[in-house]
Amino acid sequence: MKMEDMVLISVDDHITEPADIYDRQLSGKALATAPKLRAKQDGTNYWEYQGLKIPSVALNAVVGRPREEYGMEPTSLDQLRKGCWDAQARVDDMDVNGIAASLNFPSFAGIDGSLFTSVPDKDMSLTHLRAYNDWHIDEWCGAAPDRFIPCGILPLWDADLMAAEVRRLADKGCHAVSFNDNPTKRGLPSIHSDFWEPFWKAVTDCGTTICLHIGVGNTSPHPSMESPIEVNIATMPMAVAFGAADWLNLSAFNRYPDMRIALSESGIGWIPYLLERADYSNEQHRAWTHSDTYFRGRKPSEVFKQHFTSCFIDDAYGLRNLDLIGEDAVCYEVDYPHSDTPWPNAPEVLWESIQALTDEQIDKITHLNAMRDYKFELFSYGPREKYTVGALREQARAKGVDTSVKSVGGGAAPLAAGETPRPVTSGDIVAMFQKHSEAA
């Protein structure tokens, strides 16, 4: 296989929502009370809903900017590359990056839909959450059904409502939902509680995959406010291991053997050791921990390979150990429009890491596993040749898609004017968010 012959599906990207997402979904009071995009005096945007103000409308959406301007700062939509918030422009950016299809997570609503859980009026929340899902499926994904994989959010405060929404979404062709790897962080019951039973049943009945995105429940550490922020950034994928270990012990897998879990934006290099350690711990301790009440003679590593899929952006170490993870348990991601994204050079970056893999393995991790997990029949829309890296990039050239780096000012380092450059710390970032929250 040549690089140009690959078919790439990204199972982790993000939408920076435009202001009009509810305009065609709702009317009357429901529209009047829906989340609204506002602007501060300095031009920075924020979302407002039920008394809450959400300033991070474009958290880390820095694609197309000089690396010196990367960062996590809240910003305004007019500072962003259009593909962050416009579906047709996103398709153009996918073409130039050789990406055939993309699954996208929310921004202002919270990756796990936490905005709608955190406000007081839950009836209103349910209306607006469902309308958000309808916008995502009908308008964002509907703009190019062959290029987008839908992913819904759920009313986490009520498992019966969650089950109903899972079924409604499945009827609309959506077989992915975003959840929280540790819902206790939202003040909700743990995954080991009977509270979630209607949800487990619904996703299994519908063949819907549960997506557990990085940084939603168990998060990477800020060891101190003086710690350079790269400590936090470097450990983000490994923080997923805490949630994965918890889910490996989920008794619901015995009742629902077909349940599927996707670890989103997670990396894969840490997986072999976690599975090795989990197997060893189980062998050493199950006599007194009574873990066989749910493992039932299976090793944790066997549970992982039956129920879990993970994904990577650039993980040469993990790919060298693919046999220890399982070639059926790995997908690819681009993380557009965040600072980790290799856009517009994703195929080149990936190609360097997969030279030792067979063509069959490459096909599995680049698109076949994703098509299976999300019930996304890419080739029902056209032949494979239509969606290769080479074919999509030829489309981008014909359209003249501009990939030049463009400065919009600002940037990551929240330092005082004239201050000598120094490592940006966790404290700097925390203070920056506090400042923008107060300003909103």
Inform me whether the pLDDT recorded for 411 exceeds 80.
Answer: no
Q: What is the pTM of this model?
A: 0.96
Average confidence (pLDDT) over 416-421: 72
According to CATH, the topology of domain 3-439 is TIM Barrel (3.20.20)
pLDDT at 417 (0 to 100): 65
The residue ranges of every structural domain in the chain are: 3-439
Reference 250, options 210, 208, 283, 206; nearest CA is: 210
Average confidence (pLDDT) over 302-331: 97
Average confidence (pLDDT) over 372-394: 98
Rounded CA-CA distance 412/77 in Å is: 17
* Per-residue model confidence as pLDDT tens digits over 204-259: 999 999 999 999 999 998 999 999 999 999 998 888 999 999 999 999 999 999 99
Inform me whether the pLDDT recorded for 413 exceeds 60.
Answer: no
Inform me whether the pLDDT recorded for 436 exceeds 70.
Answer: no
CA distances from 139 to 88, 129, 274, 275 (A): 11, 15, 40, 40
Instruction: Say if residues 306 and 300 touch (Cβ distance below 8 Å).
Output: no
pLDDT at 433 (0 to 100): 73
CA distances from 385 to 93, 147, 350, 398 (A): 19, 14, 19, 17
Q: Dig out the tokens for 63 from the structure.
A: 């694609």
pLDDT at 431 (0 to 100): 83
Inform me whether the pLDDT recorded for 288 exceeds 80.
Answer: yes
pLDDT at 259 (0 to 100): 98
Average confidence (pLDDT) over 170-174: 98
* Per-residue model confidence as pLDDT tens digits over 45-70: 899 999 999 887 887 899 999 988 88
Inform me whether the pLDDT recorded for 349 exceeds 60.
Answer: yes
Inform me whether the pLDDT recorded for 410 exceeds 70.
Answer: no
pLDDT at 434 (0 to 100): 72
Q: How confident is the model at residue 75 (pLDDT cuts 50, 70, 90)?
A: confident
DSSP string of 42-87, one letter each residue: TS-EEEEETTEEE--TTTT--TTS-GGG-S-----GGGS-GGGT-H
Instruction: Say if residues 259 and 175 touch (Cβ distance below 8 Å).
Output: no
Average confidence (pLDDT) over 167-183: 98
Decide which of 174 and 412 is more confident. Answer: 174
Reference 430, options 227, 275, 139; nearest CA is: 227
pLDDT at 438 (0 to 100): 56
Inform me whether the pLDDT recorded for 72 exceeds 80.
Answer: no
Q: How confident is the model at residue 415 (pLDDT cuts 50, 70, 90)?
A: low
